[in-house]
Structure 1
Amino acid sequence: MTGNLIIISAPSGTGKTTILKQIMARLDGLAFSVSHTTRPPRSGEEDGRDYHFVDKEGFVALRDDHGFLEWAEVHGNFYGTSRKEVADRQAMGQDVLLDIDIQGARQVRQAAPEAISIFIAPPSWQEQEKRLKGRGTDSAETIALRLANARAEMADVDFYDFVVVNDELETAARMLEAVILAMRAKTRRDHNGAPLSLPEGVS
């Protein structure tokens, strides 16, 4: 049975990365799609684990060879999801998490209408700004740009099938987990993502 595609989008500083790490630790049968990017690695990031870090020339070559399921330019850097990596994971029966923005989400929805989409939203703009400043990695100008982009992303929230507000980390993680489990039940899978074993005569 082929695995499902799960689109996850959120503005910068919403806590998406932390939530996804919790979900990956809680649920079996999930695979995280490691995106390609042209942006420099941040402190603590590893190539192949957090991103596939490539130069612009290498990214463009992959893009032109139709190697990406989706790609987008964000804050002056390119990001893309490997078509082959996703297909290989799905063929193994794994549900694949795609950490992408609205541009990428629209591209994936066109290519795979069956994909479910989830938006993680901040509880308020004040909290969003506080979280971005708390990271200590961006200039005031970059934070202002990220906040402006966040407002633009929130304008497209109705595109998504589900919305989770990260007001409290544990609650948000449980809500996201519930959505994934409901998707598995709908596609006749158990909580680990394996095909259901139903009584004879039941389809």
Structure 2
Amino acid sequence: MTSRTFAKELAAMFSASGMSVMTPHETDSATKFPEELRRLIADDMARFHSVRIRRGMASQLERGYMVSAIAFGYRAERTVLQGGRDVGTVWTVCEAEAVLIREMYARREAGESLRNLAGRLNEAGISPPGGGRGWYASTVARILSNPIYRGWFFPGRHVAKVATSNRDQACLHRSGFAREALRIVGDVQWFAVQEPIAVVVGSDETRD
């Protein structure tokens, strides 16, 4: 039964009993009440499905699967059990792109600008993430500041919202999810380039 049908049937029950129903916009239960009730039911169902999605994402992350768009340097593979049941997506390192990422970190650590790094990639004819038109300083900055390259995945805000149960909250409020198999650079090098990136974000260096 749809929320609209249920709302109409409930409204008819109120009408048959002679009860008067007050709604936010109208006092006539025969006209506005079904629509008001339908809207309330629809809102509640939307919240219910949102919680289910977050719980599902939390479960995927806890089991080692990934729940976001693929990052540069990796390939996505679906895990399918015997019988055809699709259980999640795992990432694996794309070594050809990992070589480029290590070079980007090394050059940035040595003091090369984000803009120069982007220029090198464009001159080499390397395809940018997401199939964009080219590499920009901001593109390089996003890569160098992504913790996945040091083996940690941090869910986006749509995943990390508070869920209903204590278990969901504990999972979604963790500081991150270890993905050591996806590590491309060491912690020392990753952290070494973060402060320079933070300083130049919003400056001329990252403006495309």
TM-score bracket, shorter-length normalisation: under 0.3
Q: Which has the higher helix share?
A: 2
Structure number with the bigger relative contact order (C-alpha 8 A, sep ≥ 6) is 1
What is the TM-score of this pair, normalised by structure 2? 0.21
Q: Which has the higher strand share?
A: 1
Which structure is larger by alpha-carbon Rg, 1 or 2? Answer: 2
What is the TM-score of this pair, normalised by structure 1? 0.21
